[in-house]
Structure 1
Amino acid sequence: MSYFFFFFFFFNSSQGTNQELSDVLNELWKLDVNRMKPGKDYKINLQGKAGFVSEGSNNARDSARAPLFSYVNENKLKSIDTYAHFINLLDNYEMSTGVAEQVTKEELQENNLFLDAILKTEVMKCAHRYLVSKGRASSDPAKFKRQLYDIWFKLYRRDKSGGEDSCGFEHVFVGETKHGKEIMGLHNWVQFYHQEKHNHVDYKGYKARSNKDTPDEDDHVLNLQFSWNGLVKPVGSCFIGVSPEFEVALFTIVFLLSDERVTNVKVKVDEYLLEIVVYRFGYSIGTSYPKMISSNNRDF
């Protein structure tokens, strides 16, 4: 099988669900012992279905008077190393693109402590073994860590008018704005919860593909609408309750297995049929997120 045909077949969504990748991601799912349990470690309040928002508009009907998160076990967030180190990174970035990032020695250390923490988990060890088997990562743990650093933390210029103003971690997990007019990224539930807690985020309601595919409060993936510091994101998506190491592992695998600028792959993880989307920015991640297609063990 040629190199081109392998990658075309492996990632072409028209082929349906990618079984090999689904198997790998389900193994990561089983190993994710730090995943929070819905109804026990956190509770979400879905409320109403979000309405349509026209492109460029920051006016959205609020179909959710209460926050999305009604409870999160903060003691657990603080006591699990990967969450604790992840949270330390959330205040390290300038919100707006075009403003060059200034990385301090303390922030560099925080980046490395986070990578060290997730690399100790069985989730990341499994991801590393798989990538080595595919020839997409070195078996040397130190080299793999440097590879992860470049993918997630290496700064690049997202806005051509400024300096190095962005990185994969900031965009995906923290979120940023484009010229103060548009929300970009912010696909992480811990960041969403923290921003909501401090009244920076206003959850507007859930987004469903159809009336037959409405989410429930035990779902670990959600398509949603929200405002952040006054700007509206018409449709966003994120995992709910999963650990930082699970997301890093999943998105890293999809990123490294494809050389395409944009990769869309359909997988079934646990009971969820998802489309995983990853944009490449050179040797780094531009953005990555899951899109819920269906759930609740429906026939696909």
Structure 2
Amino acid sequence: MKVPALLLLFIAGTLGQSCVGRCGVNDGVSGCQCNSVCSNYGDCCSDYEAVCFSCKDRCGEGYVYSKPCQCNNECGSHGNCCSDYDVECGGGTGGGVTDTDLRNLMEELYSLDVNSVGNQLVLDHQGQGSSGDLAPESLFVSVPESALTGPTISLLRQLQDNYIPSVSFAEDEDAAEVAEQEAFLDAVMATQVMQRAETFLTEKNLLSGSLRDKLKEIWFMMYTRSGSILGSSGFEHVFVGELKNGVVSGFHNWVSFYQEELDGNLNYMGWSKKVDLGDKGEIINDHFEWLGEPKNTGSMMVGTSPELDMAMFTVCFLARPDSKCPTQMNGQQFQVQTHPSDYDGHVLVGSAYPVI
């Protein structure tokens, strides 16, 4: 007589040799254990990974303290989804965001972006390598005025000169600078790129309330990177650049790069990788010196609009926090790495940049 598999699992569980019904438990009696430290002691049950680290039959359940990973529509924002969450729950009742969802969205945002100016820029990449000065000339050969006067790039430029590079000095936002932030947020939210991103995030239960409010919080709220000094924000770090402990920190925006190069503050020193994004621009890994300090490994989108960059970074920050986020534009697959910064009860953008 053949015994059904489920019955065998039940029998094994009752004998303390299975993790069925025992995830998170250490009873000190059974022959094997099913808790977070069993791997340290080498006494995990043979089905520990399959039972306790899987979303099979768990999609949409609430937070379960005893489980080492979760299978609900909030696990992505907390970074504690089980490894098979996308496979088991993606697109289904679990409300998960799959890798395919993200790549399809990014292609859609790319197609909706009308303010990118990659086809107007002329670059001189020069020497390829990861160290040494391989580029005697500037990266940007020609940037016509028309590339800088668009409805969102022009407002981005107004914002970028509001910041002190060193994180050791407190930022002092006056009324005029706050007004520039508000104007920039209004402009990017008026674009189809941001409106589509907002719809996606709301549908995937990654956003409650307005995207504009979320952008203002995670990108522009000041926090500290040096003691108690409020000298940093996600926007300054990513879209402007900062100096910390004798090196360049952040600095992942081409408009800031171009302006600092034009002003004589930045020495471009070469590139190591690049990805063609068609007439909207490219992604480049580079190294350079800014205000006399080094950036040994940098990356940025070049030619893309601020709303495309910010929408991409924001979606990845909320859907794949503190991890590499699968992305695709112009048929080219790459990733976006985000890092959170916790401050005063808020989870803010610590960093965000493309990875190729």
TM bucket (normalised to shorter chain) is 0.7 to 0.9
CA distance in 2, matches of 1:11, 1:125: 27
Q: Give the TM-score, by structure 2 length.
A: 0.70
| Correspondence 1:103-122 to 2 at 5 A | 103-122=173-192
- Checking the alignment, whether the CA contact within 8 Å between 1:278 and 1:289 is kept in structure 2 is yes
What is the aligned counterpart of 1:67 among 133, 138, 143?
138
Q: Secondary structure at the match of 2:323?
A: strand
Identity across matched positions, percent = 32
SS in 2 for 1:95: coil
1:96-245 aligned within 5 A? 96-138=166-208, 143-160=210-227, 162-179=228-245, 181-208=246-273, 220-245=282-307
Does 1:37 pair with 2:103? no
Secondary structure of 1:225's match? strand
- Amino acid in the other structure paired with 1:35: S
Rounded to whole Å, the distance in 2 between the matches of 1:216 and 1:170 is 26
Are residues 1:281 and 2:345 paired?
Answer: no
Q: Which has the higher contact order (CA 8 A, sep 6+)?
A: 1
Instruction: Answer whether contact 2:130 2:297 (CA < 8 A) is retained.
Output: no
TM-superposed deviation, 1:266:
2.7
Measure how far apart 1:263 and its partner are.
Answer: 1.7
**Residues 205, 284 of structure 1: alpha-carbon distance in 2 compared, 3 angstrom cutoff:** same
Q: What root-mean-square deviation, in Å, do the aligned CA atoms of Structure 1 and Structure 2 show?
A: 2.1
Unaligned runs of 5+ in 2: 1-58, 62-69, 87-97
Q: Which residue of structure 2 lines up, in the alignment, with residue 290 of structure 1?
A: 354
Instruction: State the 1:246 CA deviation.
Output: 0.3
Runs of 4 or more consecutive aligned structure 1 residues displaced over 6 Å after TM superposition: none
**Distance of aligned partners of 1:10 and 1:132 in 2 relative to their CA distance in 1, 3 Å threshold:** farther
Q: Aligned partners of 1:154 and 1:269: how far apart in 2?
A: 29
Aligned length in residues: 265
Give the corresponding residue for 2:34: none
Report the secondary structure of 1:207's partner residue. strand
TM-score normalised by structure 1 residue count: 0.83
Residue type at the aligned position of 1:31: L
Question: CA deviation digits over 1:58-90, x for unaligned, max 9?
Answer: xxx211111101011223312x11111100011
Q: Is the 8 A contact 1:118 1:245 kept in 2?
A: yes
Q: Secondary structure at the match of 1:232?
A: strand
1:246 aligned partner, one-letter code: L
Which is higher, the Rg of structure 1 or of structure 2?
Answer: 2
Once the two structures are TM-superposed, the CA of residue 256 in structure 1 deviates from its matched residue by 1.6
For the 8 Å contact 2:241–2:249, the answer to whether it is kept is yes
Distance 2:123 2:332 in 1: 18
Matches of 2:112 and 2:85 in 1, distance apart? 24
Residue in structure 1 matched with residue 37 of structure 2 by the alignment: none
Note if contact 1:238-1:289 (Cα within 8 Å) is conserved in structure 2: yes
The answer to whether the Cα contact below 8 Å between 1:45 and 1:217 also exists between their aligned partners in 2 is no
Partner secondary structure for residue 141 of structure 2: strand
State the match for 2:35 in structure 1.
Answer: none
**Residue 104 (structure 2) pairs with residue 23 (structure 1):** yes
* C-alpha distance in structure 2 between counterparts of 1:10 and 1:274, whole Å: 21
Task: Give the C-alpha shift of residue 11 in structure 1.
Answer: 9.3
**In the alignment, which residue of structure 1 is the partner of 2:45?**
none
For the structure 1 residues 173 and 115, does the alpha-carbon distance in structure 2 shift closer, same or farther, using more than 3 Å as the test? same
